[in-house]
Amino acid sequence: MGDDMAAGDIETFHRNGIWFNRIEGETRTLESSFENREDAVSAGRSAAVMRQVGHTVRNEEGPSDDASAYERHPRDVIGGSAATH
């Protein structure tokens, strides 16, 4: 199956120690944020079951350097995941 996700799948990820769920291909997150992985994964799994789509949990939000930024879809990079440090 590989690591590729289809647009519409649910993705659980964390940013700055806070966990979120979002629909793959969108920049906005679902519902609220979570303080721990277990709650976020549970909510993400429930959302995926309701939508009858896949669910992926990422240990990292995404690329943190320019070299790997090209591995993501342009629509994921443009909408708000560009964090300034």
| Structure confidence by residue, pLDDT tens digits, 1-46 | 445 568 899 999 999 999 999 999 898 999 889 999 999 999 999 9
Q: Are 40 and 18 in contact (CB under 8 A)?
A: no
pTM for this prediction: 0.64
83 belongs to a structural domain: no
Q: Which domain holds residue 65?
A: 10-78
51 belongs to a structural domain: yes
| Count: domains in the chain | 1
> In whole angstroms, how large is the CA radius of gyration of the chain?
12
Q: How many CB atoms lie within 10 A of CB 40?
A: 23
* pLDDT score at 59: 79
Q: Are 21 and 44 in contact (CB under 8 A)?
A: yes
